[in-house]
Amino acid sequence: MLNPLQDGARQSPYEKMLQECLRGELRVVNAGLPKSQKRLSDVLNEEHPHVVCSDGSTHFFKKSELAYLTSILSTEEQQALPLPMLIELGANQAEAAIMCEGKVEEKVISKTLSMPVACEERRIRIYRPQLALLRKKFKTTTVYVFSPRIIV
């Protein structure tokens, strides 16, 4: 067996690369988060609706999804809905939480899933199968957030 103590103390290039790779993974997972969210009413006025992500890239919204949101929300609610909606993935693998500011997200989620949902501690908790349904409907208007509780 290799005796690690007889060899040099320096970290091998492979090890260094590995460490960099791991740190890179941490950076990558939340790189697609928007710098700031936009209101639905503002996004509707844009020719190419999009938000700028934290890594400088752009995240485009589909007009069909925006049209669906417009159809289910009133004008006041459109001014209140921040986009993209953030889906937080916590330590519990079976659940996900939609971060919400008010009642408008609750309405959108409950209409989409056709079931009542409750907002507790600014989070709407849903299960993975429901998450798949939600993502099917809102491919571009929702983004994943890897919770700092897992990262740190």
Residues 11-50 interacting with another protein (rule: CB under 8 A):
12, 15, 18-19, 21-23, 25-26, 28-32, 48, 50
Give residue 59's identity as a one-letter amino acid code: H
Rounded to 5 degrees, what angle do the CA atoms 96, 101, 104 make? 90
Q: Is 56 an interacting residue with respect to another protein (CB under 8 A)?
A: no
CA distance 49 to 38: 10
Size of residue set near another protein by CB under 8 A: 47
Residues 64-123 interacting with another protein (rule: CB under 8 A):
64, 89, 91, 93
Q: 2 or 118, CB closer to another protein?
A: 2
CB 31 within 8 A of CB 55: yes
CA distance 118 to 78: 20
Q: Applying CB under 8 A, which part among 36-44, 73-81, 110-118, 144-152 lies near another protein? A: 144-152
Give residue 67's identity as a one-letter amino acid code: A
What SS3 state is found at 88?
A: strand
Rounded to 5 degrees, what angle do the CA atoms 85, 43, 36 make? 50
Task: State the nearest-atom distance from the C-beta of 143 to another protein, in Å.
Answer: 6
CA distance 115 to 56: 37
Task: State the nearest-atom distance from the C-beta of 97 to another protein, in Å.
Answer: 13
Q: Choose which of 58, 67, 102, 103 interacts with another protein (CB under 8 A).
A: 58
Q: Which residues form the interface with another protein (CB under 8 A)?
A: 1-5, 7-9, 12, 15, 18-19, 21-23, 25-26, 28-32, 48, 50, 53, 57-60, 62-64, 89, 91, 93, 128, 131-132, 135-136, 139-140, 143-144, 146, 150-151
